[in-house]
Structure 1
Amino acid sequence: MSQTPSPFALVRQELHQHPELSNQEARTAERIKQHFTKMKPDQIFENLGGHGLAFLFKGANPGPVTLIRCELDALPIQEINDLPYKSCIDGVSHKCGHDGHMAIVTALGNFLSGNKPENGSVICLFQPAEETGAGAIRVVEDETFSQLKPDFCFALHNLPGKPMGQVLCKPGTFNCASRGMIIRLTGKTSHAAHPEDGISPAIAMSHLIEGLTRLPDTMTGFNLVTVVHASLGEIAFGTSPADAVVMATLRTTTNEAMNMLVAHACQLAEQQAKAEKLSVSIEWEDVFGASVNTDTGYQHVMRACQAVGVEAITMEEGFRWSEDFGIFTEVSEGAMFALGSGEHSPQLHNPDYDFPDELIPTGFAVFREIIRGINGFEDKR
């Protein structure tokens, strides 16, 4: 006989059924607000950086402010799982586990409603638009965020391929900086029988693809350029092309290295365009800074894991994938940690991925213990 899901597994499954894309999370935010209103937080902040929400639980005494962050948004991926709580939205689903992250923080809010921090305050933040890299910075730049002024910020991300409930963390870079580069080359069309009468971007495009791929070889440390798309002209055998587009993803372990890689990539694009008498324009999308854990934040995570008996591994290297949480540790102490979601789980962003509900108590326990170590509270378990 199947076990009855916990209340917060049901919250997770409800959110899973009703996913929303980045910057469209209004109904998700309303669902979260309905749950938290019953918990009677001391203050509710709405429309943070878009559809973001923050719930403040105040302690009796002055002290530090600790912020626990999760994400509201889903992905433009068609779910293929046959689940009783399968996504109701065609082409949209929670394939990164943000539904699970929200359930964990909702469980934490429920606990805080009956166990206020002894010193300072705790904030449960539901951030919009993590998948685009724009949400965290919009939250931090929002005027309302200046009222929150967190001293500590923490977040987790589930990680398929690792043992269920195992925590992975490290001081320093936890996630790479990354950004999408769009290079547009423009020349002049001509008849394909007389290409000399036009200006084709074909040679510049081919040199640019090779040059971008080899660019990291000229730099030290981990740097990566992945060409993700390229197009040239139109499907017209009688026409020599005038336009080309090359798109690439740039990754580095530090923001300083990213600035250098960007400069080199732009210089390469301009050189190739000039050599072939083309005009060039460059655009950027999905810009993520490096997510850097502070030493103090890392120590709080490891201490909490030890206290609640959760296996915790100190990673030697950060992850290549990106996360926009790094903006929070630019303004406060803090850390992000990974939480193993099963060695046989489908990977993140796969159409058959599903966040495991059995992970909710572990994430909750680690966050609760982090708060106990920083703010303290009378535990009424």
Structure 2
Amino acid sequence: MPIKNRFAELLPEITQWRRDLHENPEILFETHRTSALVAEKLRAFGCDEVVTGLGRTGVVGVIKGRVGTSGRTVGLRADMDALPIHEETGLDYASKTPGAMHACGHDGHTAMLLGAARYLSETRNFDGTCVVIFQPAEEGGGGGREMVEDGIMDRFGIDEVYGMHNWPGQPLGAFAIRPGPFFAATDQFELVIRGKGGHAAKPHEVIDPTVAASQVVLALQTIASRSTDPTKQIVVSVTSFVTSSTAYNVIPQAVTLRGTIRTLDADIRALAEHRLNRIADGLCAAMGATPELRMIYGYPVMVNADRETGYAADAARRVSGDCAEAPLVMGGEDFAYLLNERPGAYILVGNGDSAPVHHPAYNFNDEVIPAGCSWFAEMVESRLPIAS
């Protein structure tokens, strides 16, 4: 039976898994129920090995093909964690956990990889080993980094690794991918500008950090417009401007600026931090204020390997008939840590006309499941073919 037909048969059961996960979301590394459910199903499918507690609450399942002469191993990864958002979908299977919801479709990713694991355990129509990776804390916790630091690549002998994300606005079940830099590095900064506070009626007696901070906010826009090659992507956003005073007639002692820097190139990432420092130092010195900068480094640039991107696109075409060129994405994705360790690729699958991810009205479209499961399974069977 063709792969996609088998998943069409399994759709009601996989949908039930997905909706159960949606109803019981867990945030960051607190995916205890989710991880236990995943491990239980992998054991029931007959995986050769199931390991829990990797990257704190991650789960890995090992499925050996019916032929093992190639000695090669392909990894497939899905993220499991939800977001700290109050759900507003009105679904009968909406989140039962106040302040938490699957607003990014990780419930769908987990269900699709479970479906693929069931199929691969049943058929084992490949030569080598498949490792299914269920990761916590993609949403800002760096669960991918922690699983890598726990040694999953070497422990399970992974040679190449693949991942997938649903994409609202893209046609239902349609795939898109691009080689090279794909998702951005996401760094945060906190800049405290200290002056000398005083009465608003006597500005000549103070060093006003509000004026200095305002100049800095405007000047930071020149990092993109005047310091960076215009063919390179960079977004510098000041998202918070907080003073130490809330009174109408008090000039504050300090102002705190917070924001993000998003880049798709390591050199531009370094340049942006350098320019942030120089701009803050120079403008504050001119006004008598003192800056204190703290950088919070986020996920690195996620880079798809050229050859493996081709494999992933070919698999998508066999599943859906086409694979489009994906846009560059200035959001972050911690699959980057896995791709820093092994060649591989990350692909998008269309969620149709839905609310955007990270929105309280978002919901993963269950009709995507056969296409997503099929792509996972096709990656294993095409990368680990049995010789005729």
Q: How does 1:283-294 map to 2 (within 5 A)?
A: 283-285=294-296, 287-294=298-305
Amino acid at match of 1:105: L
The residue aligned with 2:257 is: 246
For 1:213, the aligned partner's letter is Q
Would the aligned equivalents of 1:228 and 1:248 in 2 still touch at CA under 8 Å?
yes
2:279 paired residue number: 268
Matches within 5 A, 1:306-345: 306-315=317-326, 317-342=327-352, 344-345=353-354
Task: Report how far residue 272 of structure 1 moved.
Answer: 2.9
What corresponds to 2:41 in structure 1? 35
Distance 1:331 1:4, change over 3 A: closer
Structure 1 CA distance, aligned partners of 2:56 and 2:271? 31
Bigger drift between 159-168 and 143-152 goes to: 143-152
Q: Give the TM-score, by structure 2 length.
A: 0.90
Q: Which residue does 1:19 correspond to in 2?
A: 25
> 1:186–1:48: structure 2 CA closer, same or farther, 3 Å change rule?
farther
Letter aligned with residue 206 of structure 1: S
* Residues in 1 aligned to 2:241 and 2:296: alpha-carbon distance in whole angstroms: 16
Residue 301 of structure 1: aligned partner: 312
Partner of 2:383: 374
State the shift of 1:196 in Å. 4.4
In 2, the alpha carbon distance for the partners of 1:267 and 1:197 equals 27
Map of 2:195 onto structure 1: 187
Aligned pair 1:50/2:56, yes or no? yes
Counterpart code for 2:85: I
Distance 2:90 2:291 in 1: 47
The 2-side partners of 1:36 and 1:6 are apart by: 18
> Separation in 2 of the partners of 1:300 and 1:62?
18
The alignment's C-alpha RMSD in Å is: 2.1
Counterpart of 1:8 in structure 2 is: 14
Q: Distance in 1 between matches of 2:113 and 2:368?
A: 12
Per-residue deviation, residues 311-362 of structure 1 (Å, max 9, x unmatched): 21123x42222211122122111100110110x2111111111000010110
Question: Structure 1 regions of 5+ residues with no counterpart?
Answer: none
The superposition leaves residues 29-49 of structure 1 with CA deviations (integer Å, 9 ceiling, x where unpaired) of 112112212123222222222
Q: How does 1:159-174 map to 2 (within 5 A)?
A: 159-174=167-182
Q: 1:377 to 1:21 in 2, by over 3 A?
A: farther
Q: Deviations over 1:3-26 (max 9, x none)?
A: 996111111000000111112222
Q: 118, 127, 140: which is aligned to 2:126?
A: 118
The whole-number CA distance in structure 2 between the counterparts of 1:145 and 1:197 is 61
Q: Which runs of 4+ in 1 moved over 6 A?
A: none
Q: 1:335 to 1:133 in 2, by over 3 A?
A: farther
Query: d(CA) in 2 for partners of 1:365 and 1:308?
Result: 7
Q: How far apart, CA to CA, are the structure 2 residues paired with 1:133 and 1:290?
A: 16
CA distance in 2, matches of 1:7, 1:92: 24
With the length of structure 1 as denominator, give the TM-score of the two structures: 0.92
Q: Is the 8 A contact 2:126 2:380 kept in 1?
A: no
Shift of residue 192, structure 1, vs aligned partner: 3.6
Residue 62 of structure 1 and its aligned partner are, at CA, apart by: 4.2
Mapping of 1:52-71 within 5 angstroms?
A: 52-59=58-65, 60-71=68-79
For residues 185-239 of structure 1, the C-alpha deviation after alignment (integer angstroms, 9 at most, x for no partner) is: 2334334444444433112210111011221012111211122111122212343
